[in-house]
Amino acid sequence: MKLAIAAIVKNELDSLSEWMAFHLAVGASHFLIADNESSDGTYELLDALSKTGLVTLISVPTGSTPPQLIAYQQLLGSCPNDIDLVAFIDADEYLLPTPPAVAVAADKAPEFPLLAWLEKQFASKEVGAMALNWACFGSNGAKFRDEGLVIERFTQRAKQAFGPNHHFKSVVRPSYVEKFDNPHYARLNRGHYINAVGEPVEARLDKQGKPRMGLSEQIVWEGARINHYLVKSVEEFVVGKAKRGSAATPNYTKQRDYFMRHDRNDIACHIAADLAPEVKQKMAWLQQQLAVLEETQSVNSAERQTSFDLKRWLKRRLKEWASNSNGDDAPIERWALDYPSDQRGSCFIASGRVVQGWLLLPETLKEMQSQASIIAEWQPAFELNHPLDVDRPDVIDTILAASAEGHPQRVCGFRFSIPPRLGNFRLWLALGEQRWLLKEVSVDTQDVGAAQPLKVLKGKQGWLFLDNDTNGSVDQFMGRMRLTQAGLEGWKSYLSDMASVAAQRPWALLVAPSKESVMGADYHPRKEGEGGPLHQVLGLAAAKDVVYPVEELKALGDNAFILTDTHWTQKGALSATIALAEKLGVERAACEALFQKDRYKQKEMGGDLGNKLTPKQVCTVEVITSFNHTRYKTYDNGLPNFGRVLVIEYPNALVAGTCLLFGSSSSSSMFNYLCRVFQRFVFVHSAGNIDPDVVAAVAPDYLAAQTNGRFVVQVPSASQNLEEVIREKCAQLDEKTLEGVSEKRIIASDDYLESIGLLFWEQTRSALIN
């Protein structure tokens, strides 16, 4: 069963990707779209997607006759022959499977329950069309457009008996339709209409007793319905629906009275919102298609034809396989999970718990082995994607009873590691553009021993790097870890929220490049891959205020990072300071001149990597001797790492203003430089998480956040509560650590702390540790 979605659109760019992704998520596989003279980029997006084969696109002009019914007739004539059903809806309507559709009788739950349900409803060839009623959604009280999906933002609907819900939209067999009498009702050349429970549609009568074709007497929501987001927020209504008018009725505009009549928020309903994770995945997939298309169009015509042929070949091979199977199963001959498993238990290596196994594709798909990969997922923000790249001749010999020599599926194994204390994760098979769930894996984490020191990868010429820490540094470096759409949306929200918190003051986010990204090409023991979470974040339009000084660090050569530590050198920190200050509006030449006379000396150190080895490995680094920021600290709460707050005031600084930095451990080596740029420097150790109340209290002239490149898989927040962080931190400290805190504290007067906006947090912290 193949379902297409048909619509006429005009200037729908803001929500079109979500609308398409939603319908892909519920089972649609094609779109028939008529563009009505869009001017906001809608046509360009659809035109690009039409080149991927996902969209059949036509253009209809605005003339003396409303274009909607004309468009519908042309779309019927353009429908591909392999499409079984077409749902004719609008771009603010979402075809939603409701619980009975999910419960369709089957030996096992189908991947797309809507398709299984539709196939059952259209089992008889006498059924030519199905009427699906509206469920009208209100504004949720929103005045302005906000971030987030439509299905997430609008979760309040009218009661089922609400009058407009008698309207229905039609799912039709395209060859059964003679024409559309109106946008809701199709005149059939054969067959009959049913409603969502399989009964004949009873038309609603007007006051004169005449049938109103397109409205049903019963409002039926069992199995599926049309979620109609017909008003959205006031802003979206005014600049969207009210401005566009009607594609079906001449000279009809929807104004204030329309909004007031339809803005019903009677009942909370989250059925569509619960599909948000799948929708975001499909939105990411759409972006990938556009990226591939853009890349393809940049090569010469011969290469472009080869790329297109490969993509078409993959689709054809999967389609052929599906036609020869029952269509519900994943394209797998056999697969097995060696570790962790009930038979073998778990296996651990330095970087974590081993996930090891193998997978064979069906004989008819064996040529696609190189396209297959295993995806591991345990958090919504990121996932691991590992190719089948482990040689497994034993599988060919034992499972297939064939010679492994030259066998096309000999390299069918996978092996990687995950955090050792991770109790649950999911494994997927990814092939081409599709994925299938292999297994929900659960392990008993009691088999994990006491926490071990972080292991170290030994690179070339004595350079040390992180092994796979909890952020998957090696997987990121090799391009095997990727942010999901949910992760990217999280970053968009964070950057947008930070801009809002900053208000009109200069602001920036500094991302400290990982050691691997700067030194890895020359010294890392693993091969560097393409892409990765950081590059995904930097590719966002919202990332224009992100400072990523990777080129400045590479220019320092071996002086950029400490050979036996994960952090940059002090000269690396200096380069980052200048890049950050310049982004905040400080003149670069003035900054460079400020530090020209600094003096350094050689110092031997082990570092956070070298100290883990036995015997300890040390190296020599340059440290600044001509300036020490500790002489100018006016306040320090003394807490280790997260929750630490300090203030440095240097009267001879370049800029007479306050800079507030929400930073991380990489920020500490910048203190000697930042305090000479900004007369007052306030630091909060938060890994880039921002407390808007602290920003309001300190009222800085400049706002900055700093995180590390390998931390981008942990999306920071712009609504952190520093008070709670300090409370939780102090509650976890033992007596010895508390003694250290007291020794490091620099206590300031209440008057001073109040003047810089930190009195409340100091009192909170003091109450906990005194």
State whether 643 and 750 are in the same domain. Answer: yes
Contact 635, 645 (CB under 8 A): yes
Helix (H, G, I), strand (E, B) or coil at 542: helix
Indicate if the pLDDT at residue 560 is higher than 60.
yes
pLDDT category at 310 given cuts 50, 70, 90 is very low
Kindly state the average pLDDT of the residues 613-623.
93
* pLDDT, tens digit, 9 for 90 and up, residues 444-476: 888 776 545 557 889 999 999 988 677 888 888
pLDDT at 281 over 80: yes
Least confident of 62-71, 240-249, 552-561, 585-594: 240-249
Cβ burial of 81 (10 Å; 0-12, 13-18, 19+) is: exposed
Task: Give the mean pLDDT of 283-302.
Answer: 66
Average pLDDT over residues 538-560: 92
Q: What is the mean pLDDT of residues 411-419?
A: 91
Residue 745 contacts residue 636 (beta carbons within 8 Å)? yes
Each residue's pLDDT tens digit, 172-200: 999 999 999 999 999 999 999 999 999 99
Do 735 and 606 share a structural domain?
A: yes
What CA–CA distance (Å, rounded) separates 237 from 90?
A: 15
Give the model's pLDDT for residue 728.
Answer: 87
Query: Is residue 466 a part of any domain in this protein?
Result: no
- Co-location of 142 and 21 in the same domain: yes
131 plus 246 within the same structural domain: yes
Tokens of 96: 């939603």
301 confidence band (pLDDT: 50, 70, 90) = very low
Q: Is pLDDT at 324 greater than 80 in this prediction?
A: no
Same-domain pairing of 233 and 114 = yes
User: Which of 394, 421, 452 is a domain's end point?
Assistant: 452
Whether residue 308 is predicted with pLDDT greater than 50 in this model: the reply is no
Rg (the chain; Cα; Å): 30
The answer to whether the CB of 225 falls within 8 A of the CB of 137 is: no
Name which residue leads in pLDDT, 86 or 475: 86
Give the CATH number for residue 341.
2.60.40
The answer to whether residues 86 and 196 belong to one domain is yes
**Structure tokens that stand for 476 in this block:** 């990121």
Higher pLDDT, 743 or 470: 743
One domain, residues 354 and 316? no
Kindly state whether residue 560 falls inside one of the protein's structural domains. Answer: yes
Describe the chain by its helix, strand, coil percentages, rounded to 5. Answer: 35, 25, 35
Structural domain of 112? 3-274
pLDDT at 245 over 70: no
Please tell me the least confidently modeled range out of 24-33, 56-65, 334-343, 625-634.
Answer: 56-65
Domain identity same for 439 and 546 = no
Please tell me the predicted confidence (pLDDT) of residue 614: 87
348 belongs to a structural domain: yes
The values of phi and psi at residue 708, to 5°, are -100, 150
Q: Write down the pLDDT at residue 692.
A: 95
Percent above pLDDT 90 for the chain: 59
Question: pLDDT grade, residue 312 (50/70/90)?
Answer: low
| Mean pLDDT estimate for the chain | 88
Asked if residue 461 belongs to a domain, the reply is no
As for how many domains the chain has, the answer is 4
| Residue 468, domain member (yes or no) | no
Model confidence pTM above 0.85: no
**Whether pLDDT at 665 is above 70:** yes
Question: Looking at the domain assignment, is residue 250 inside a domain?
Answer: yes
Residue 322: pLDDT band (50, 70, 90) is low
pLDDT at position 222: 93
Average pLDDT over residues 608-637: 94
My answer on whether 682 and 624 are in the same domain is yes
Q: 137 and 256: one domain? A: yes
Residues 492 and 578 in one domain: yes
Q: Read off the pLDDT band of 155 (50, 70, 90).
A: very high
User: In terms of domains, do 318 and 361 share one?
Assistant: no
For the domain that residue 186 is a member of, what is the CATH number?
Answer: 3.90.550
Residue 369 — pLDDT band, cuts 50, 70, 90?
A: confident
Q: Which of the two residues, 258 and 89, has the higher pLDDT score?
A: 89
In the predicted structure, residue 140 carries a pLDDT above the cut 60: yes
Exposed / middle / buried, residue 760 (Cβ in 10 Å: 0-12, 13-18, 19+): middle
Mean of pLDDT values over 253-279 = 88
Q: Is residue 465 part of a domain?
A: no
pLDDT, tens digit, 9 for 90 and up, residues 60-69: 987 777 889 9
What is the per-residue pLDDT for 320? 63
pLDDT tens profile 711-739: 999 999 999 999 888 888 888 888 888 88
Percent of the chain topping pLDDT 70: 90
623, β-bridge pairs: 601
Q: Would residue 67 count as lying in a domain?
A: yes
Q: How many residues does the chain have?
A: 770
Work out whether the CA dihedral 568, 573, 579, 580 comes out positive or negative.
positive
Confidence of residue 110 (pLDDT cuts 50, 70, 90): low
What are the structure tokens assigned to 759, written together?
């009195």
Where residue 527 falls among pLDDT bands split at 50, 70, 90? confident
Amino acid identity at 54: L
